[in-house]
Amino acid sequence: MTSIPRSLSDLDALFYSAETPAQHLHVLATLVLKRASVERVSDYELFQSRVAERFRLVEPLRRRPGRSATGRATWIEDPEIFLEQHLHHVVLPEGGGLDALAETAAEIASHPLSRDRPMWEAWFVEGFEKDHTAVVTKIHHSVFDGISGIFALAAFFDLEAHPEARSGGGAGDPAEHSSGTSVRSWPDLGAVAGGLVRRPVSVAKAMTRFSSSGVRLALSRRETTPLPCTGPRMSYNRALTPRRSVGFTSLKLEDVKRVAHSSGASVNDVVVALCAGVLRRYAIQCDELPTRPLVAAIPVSERKRDDGPAGNALSFMFYALPVHLPAVSERLAFVKRSASEAKSLHTKTGEGLLASVAALAPKAAIGPAMRIMSSRGAANVFPPVANVLISNIRGPQVPLYVAGATLCSIFPMGPVIDGVGLGITAMSYGDEMSFGFIACADLVRDIRDFSLGLHVEMAAMLDALPRPRRSRSRST
């Protein structure tokens, strides 16, 4: 039976429509895998076999974009999917290594996804290291956000290296959210009609929420609770070009938690403070150290039990990044205050705000307006919404396997947007905290500076921890 087309949510439609030749709105994850020790057939053949076996279990991977009779963007289940259009094979130059893998991921990130088929790709990468391979996954942000994307990947993993064959196996049922809620089925005609009737009401509610949030944001103005569009313009806060650069590195999760525990901060606070230190070091190198904080946009999941695992359910908090402060302890204390105030403000004004903005945006005009603004370099004139995008995702807490290979690391990357040409995404998995840096290659001179700076900043944080006192024995 033919499935009924499903309209994109307002937020999904915003991500779908806002793409331009320079602003690619896809998300990526680079997976590093350790080969199984036994002799096997080609790793690429196993990769193809695993994707072919399980991709149909993840409903969003079977959908392609379409249009309803009224012109609204919809998802249509594609009856014929040719995997050779989605799966690719690349071999790194001799020597391989993390930098070569990052360069390949940058090349993949520099091109938009085709819209004539389901909007995802996966690249199998050989030549990384002697006993390791990698996979770069790429999917459009209108299909998944960071949290829903992690649940989608679960379908391709196993919880043990050699599991017993079972129907629709994997690390998690892709038809369920972490709370056990089933994925929404395709809407029936009554639901579609009901949505059209409710549309004016939802727009009116969005207008009310948006205006009241703006007033509260303005009244809450402090150094540690910045407003969007108030950060100093940095060299990476300009109009994008299509080219991307990518950097990968990892820290010991134990070190991050040690700093968090010692300072009474959260792991996320430490991650953001590390990013502030890295950006300070880069600003000094570029001779553009500001005298006031930068503004970081921090994605926040708003996924509810009945939302299902697909699509977007997120908003943003805005943190002040204390790049102007020289001491690591000062920066962490500042971030802690900013995070606390941002969370409080988000509870009062930010929840549902991005969805409200999406509901107010005229869908037919978003694409043309974004392309005109991009072609004319509007981001060079208007203040950037934020200076940098920073995201921290809690990854899987158990070891995962793919067709016998062990998943070693996950390096996530979100998109960059016009005027905000730098994004930093962290993800915990196993004993690692992995970082993916992505930037417009024409706005950041060498993205490896951020990876190297992260380790210097982590060492400085550890050095700043109070030393344990040694007990003195008393003589009798």
**What homologous superfamily does CATH list for 6-156?**
Chloramphenicol acetyltransferase-like domain (3.30.559.10)
Q: Do residues 296 and 386 touch, judged by C-beta distance below 8 A?
A: yes
The per-residue pLDDT for 321 is 97
Residues making up the chain, counted from first to last: 476
- Lookup result for tokens 């921290």: 392
Question: 223-393+417-463: what fold?
Answer: Chloramphenicol Acetyltransferase (3.30.559)
Phi, psi of 293 (to 5 degrees): -65, 155
Percent of the chain with pLDDT over 70: 82
Helix (H) or strand (E) holding 337: helix 328-345
Average pLDDT over every residue of 164-177:
46
The per-residue pLDDT for 206 is 44
Q: Is the pTM of this model over 0.75?
A: yes
How far, in Å, CA of 155 to CA of 174, rounded?
5
DSSP string, 98-121: HHHHHHHHHHHHTSPPPSSS-SEE
How far, in Å, CA of 358 to CA of 142, rounded?
12
Instruction: Of 252-261, 338-347, 351-360, give the lowest mean pLDDT range.
Output: 351-360
How far, in Å, CA of 450 to CA of 278, rounded?
6
Which 3 state secondary structure label does DSSP give 402? Answer: strand
The per-residue pLDDT for 199 is 44
pLDDT digit string, tens, across residues 81-107 = 999 999 999 999 988 999 999 999 999
The three state secondary structure string of 123-159 is EEEEEEECCEEEEEEEEECCCECHHHHHHHHHHHCEC
Separation in Å, CA 22 to CA 18, 358, 463: 11, 21, 41
How far, in Å, CA of 136 to CA of 385, rounded?
29
- Lookup result for tokens 């590390």: 274
pLDDT digit string, tens, across residues 416-436 = 999 999 999 999 999 999 999
CB atoms closer than 10 angstroms to residue 365: 10
Question: Does position 386 have pLDDT exceeding 70, yes or no?
Answer: yes
Question: Does position 177 have pLDDT exceeding 60, yes or no?
Answer: no
CB atoms closer than 10 angstroms to residue 330: 14
CB atoms closer than 10 angstroms to residue 294: 25
- 204 pLDDT band, cuts 50/70/90, is very low
The per-residue pLDDT for 237 is 98
pLDDT digit string, tens, across residues 436-462 = 999 999 999 999 999 999 999 999 999
Please, where in the chain does CATH 3.30.559.30 lie? 223-393+417-463
Please, where in the chain does CATH 3.30.559.10 lie? 6-156
